[in-house]
Structure 1
Amino acid sequence: MTNTEPRPAGSSAGPGPTASQGRQLSAASVGNAVEWYDWYAYSFLAVYFADQIFPEGAGSSLVPLLSTFAVFAVGFFMRPVGGLLMGAVADRHGRRAALTVTILLMGGGSLLVAVTPTYATAGILAPVVLVVARLVQGLSVGGEFAASTTFLVESAGEGRRGLFSSFQYVSTTVGQLIASGLAALLAASLTTGQMSSWGWRIPFLVGALLSLAGFWIRRGAQETRSREQQEAARPGIFDALRRHPRQSLLICGITTGGTIAYYTWTAYLPTYATVNAGFDKGQALTVGTISLAFFALLQPLGGMLSDRIGRKPMLIGFALGFALLAVPMLQLVTDAFWSLLLVQCAGMVLLTGYTSVAAAINAEIFPARVRAAGIGFPYSLTVALFGGTAPYVGTWFKQAGHPDLFPWYVAALCLVSFCVYLTLPETAKKPLER
């Protein structure tokens, strides 16, 4: 590995991205937005289709919702497999090849969710189809982060890796925003009965069509692997884990607090407010949409700031903020519109300290030869354990009669990552190994 940072086609050290880099950003961001639109539509619409797929349990109306979030978590447990397999594809055959495969898988999974039969018409087949669809989507999204993170950071010019890194969550949030916005629009336009009967299927059909558009855009992207890397011997699928165990553990520690905070504040908080504070379902989706737009605007600012002051101060500020404030912020959630909006936006300001630099710090830890697989598996495994289970754990605490424990759970995991961040070396000013 060389210690110098070769510039990809079109890169420069100037103040803004070149035309070539702009095309690279578009290919990564548009496809990533489509991927995450498909993924998050599930969490926003779960409250509408839960009792269509799962029968109510005796004595508890939360059983269908709990079962639906369990399937949400099951999808997350395919993400490590996707991170490992698609990461290996990216390292062996190129970042672009992996990105085109992941978006086709996501589109297929979204279409399968859209045509999932109800329990009343198909019995046990209904939840089986839903589980298969989420497994396919989990495989896709696990590989997506590994490939797109590597692609974005390798496409950046000198001194702009943080800025380019931030577009990982800009595009993720745009996809989430479109999913939330469409869900809110449908909730406002249709009756609750219509939403539960057939309205919830519309966003998944839209997602399948958008995936085809994303596939077409990604086919025009430039490969970011260097010529030397393309000509070198292809790495084995477990090379990153075997040769870089310390870096793999660091990815886990970096991700633990970030993923629980991210999925709590961006995906689960509307449901948390509905279940725990009696918040109106439609209004909760509206609040989520507004706060997500605010969150997307923050990401490039955080990325540029990290290029100036470093990744470590950003991460420490995020983790310490959530360790101290997660409990009081979630306790402030009531059935009032402004209370939820204030809590969600305040949390997203803190969260930006992690999300705007996550792609950069992950890519800077691993050498190029095994970068995608090295990031993909430990990151996706940690997200599966702590991020994907966040809605289930929060709903389970409510069903068990201890809803106040969930904020402490979030704070504790952020404290774990805070300890890891204190030990990290600063990588912002170092050249990216290629």
Structure 2
Amino acid sequence: MTYTAATTSTSDDSVSTSGTQPQRASHAKAIAAITLGNGLEFFDFTIYSFFATIIGKLYFPVEGQLAQLMLAVGTFGVGFIMRPVGGVVLGAYADRAGRKAAMSLTLWLMTLGSAIIAFAPTYASIGLAAPVLVILARLIQGFALGGEIGASTSLLMEYGSDRTRGFYGSWQFVSQGLNTVVGSLLGVALAAMLSTHALESWGWRVPFVIGMAMGPIGVYIRRHLDETLPLPAASDHSPALEAATVAKPVREIFGTHMGSIVTGVVTTIGGTAANYIVLFYLSTYAIKILHMPMSLALWASWTAALVTVICSPFAGSLSDRYGRKRVLWVSRVLLIAGVYPAFMVINAVPTVPVLLSVVAVLGVLVAFTAVPNIVMLPEMFPREIRATGMSIVYCLGVSIFGGFAQFFATWLIQLSGNTLAPAWYLIGCGLVSLLALPFVRETAGRAID
């Protein structure tokens, strides 16, 4: 089979010793393009969590505010059900057609999902069809993000060298934090400027309209990226070859890489639970449990996200220097030890300064435990199946323990009557995730192709 690949650079700072690298004038521009496009997708997906209380009221009119919240955050989790499916389908597409093609497709799918939510009539207007539309939109978005995470992280990693992959891969988490910063600022601004009636009638739809409009911009930003996957020559595109190429990544992963899948999924559980509890759920927790105004509580998400954006590149560089496993182990143990006291403090002194201080500390630990984790996953697989493998492992770990983290946390509060219950969830996930770490191969500073 004949392959065409981009020209390889000869700079020691830009060339990986582990495979073919594309020619690129500016790595900073490449990181920006991938990060901005990825952030736009996560903006569409996570803005839902900021307005979960309003969406619950408008689309799930059941008795009790806590029940409404459970249905709303449960629907947030529904989107994660499709992530493994999207990971398999779009990941295989990224390993066949290239990273760029897959990332453009995921952006268009996210745009469609945002458009459905932005213009979906409420339960009062069309009855049961209203929550069905919201669920459909969440499924589409989940499918899209399932493929996006593998393609974009693989592309970032393949732009780095054996000595810098942690730093490059950390920008995947930076992009997620950036979307949370922008989304929470937008939520705070809307909550501050609009009356409660205006916010509930139309104001909450504004971020989804913005997300829908930003999709084409993301596609444009990414179109000048260099492809890092050697692609088949035009003469090799026969139907039989196409079918075999599509099936190969999935067949090979489940045939010869099951050990990597299991250890990767278990390790991911702790990082994703921490991410979704600290970055997304604590704002909702502050509104419903601590009874803070929405305009103030959303600053918790903003603070946590800003801290992760700042700390993530340092966490990636630290993992390049000292190893992924060592940085992940230390930070995750500290997070497990600190999360219960953190919840005790914000319940004992439920003020905004205390909440933001606690969230900032937790945000630092989340960055240093999540970044080496997410960097480590694509390094487990060879280049030709990397996007598929990364997507499957990450999405399986995130789908249940991250996507439904807010639901489980709220359910535990309702079941136990204890407002500290979300800490139990995070501690349990963290402890389980550490069990697989001894079986994970250290990849920092080593050739992966």
Which of the five TM-score ranges fits, normalised by the shorter chain? over 0.9
Contact kept in structure 2, 1:146 and 1:373, CA below 8 Å: yes
Structure 1 pair 154–368 and aligned structure 2 pair: CA distance change class (3 A): same
Structure 1 pair 98–149 and aligned structure 2 pair: CA distance change class (3 A): same
In structure 2, the partner of 1:184 is: 188
How big is the shift at 1:111? 0.9
Structure 1 residue 40 and structure 2 residue 46: aligned?
A: yes
Structure 1 pair 11–189 and aligned structure 2 pair: CA distance change class (3 A): farther
Contact kept in structure 2, 1:241 and 1:374, CA below 8 Å: no
Higher deviation after alignment, 158-167 or 15-24: 15-24
In structure 2, the partner of 1:292 is: 305
Moved over 4 A (4+): 6-11, 15-18, 227-233
Structure 1 pair 140–40 and aligned structure 2 pair: CA distance change class (3 A): same
How big is the shift at 1:212? 0.9
Structure 1 residue 282 and structure 2 residue 281: aligned?
A: no
In structure 2, the partner of 1:248 is: 261
Q: Aligned residue pairs: how many? A: 426
SS in structure 1 at match of 2:182: helix
Take 1:395 and 1:251, find their aligned partners in 2: how far apart are those partners? 27
Instruction: Kindly provide the amino acid, as one letter, of the partner of residue 19 in structure 1.
Output: A
Contact kept in structure 2, 1:13 and 1:159, CA below 8 Å: no
Take 2:115 and 2:28, find their aligned partners in 1: how far apart are those partners? 30
Among 380, 384, 389, the residue aligned to 1:374: 389
SS in structure 2 at match of 1:333: helix
Per-residue CA deviations over 1:111-137 (Å, capped at 9, x if unaligned) read 111011111111001001000000000
In structure 1, the partner of 2:11 is: 12
In structure 1, the partner of 2:128 is: 124
Structure 1 residue 26 and structure 2 residue 39: aligned?
A: no
Higher deviation after alignment, 251-260 or 152-161: 152-161
Instruction: Kindly provide the amino acid, as one letter, of the partner of residue 53 in structure 1.
Output: Y
Instruction: Kindly provide the amino acid, as one letter, of the partner of residue 39 in structure 1.
Output: F
Instruction: Kindly provide the amino acid, as one letter, of the partner of residue 194 in structure 1.
Output: A
Structure 1 residue 390 and structure 2 residue 442: aligned?
A: no
Higher deviation after alignment, 222-231 or 259-268: 222-231
Take 1:373 and 1:355, find their aligned partners in 2: how far apart are those partners? 20
Contact kept in structure 2, 1:110 and 1:207, CA below 8 Å: yes
How big is the shift at 1:29? 0.8
Contact kept in structure 2, 1:10 and 1:20, CA below 8 Å: no
Take 2:65 and 2:287, find their aligned partners in 1: how far apart are those partners? 14
Higher deviation after alignment, 86-95 or 8-17: 8-17
Structure 1 residues 96-111: aligned runs within 5 Å: 96-111=100-115
Structure 1 pair 223–123 and aligned structure 2 pair: CA distance change class (3 A): same
Take 2:106 and 2:42, find their aligned partners in 1: how far apart are those partners? 11
Higher deviation after alignment, 71-80 or 12-21: 12-21
Contact kept in structure 2, 1:317 and 1:350, CA below 8 Å: no
Higher deviation after alignment, 398-407 or 29-38: 398-407
How big is the shift at 1:255? 0.4
Contact kept in structure 2, 1:165 and 1:358, CA below 8 Å: no
Tell me the C-alpha RMSD between the 2 structures. Answer: 2.2
SS in structure 2 at match of 1:238: helix
Structure 1 residues 80-119: aligned runs within 5 Å: 80-119=84-123
Higher deviation after alignment, 362-371 or 133-142: 362-371
Among 421, 440, 446, the residue aligned to 1:405: 421
Higher deviation after alignment, 60-69 or 190-199: 60-69
Higher deviation after alignment, 349-358 or 201-210: 349-358
Structure 1 residues 114-263: aligned runs within 5 Å: 114-226=118-230, 234=245, 235-263=248-276
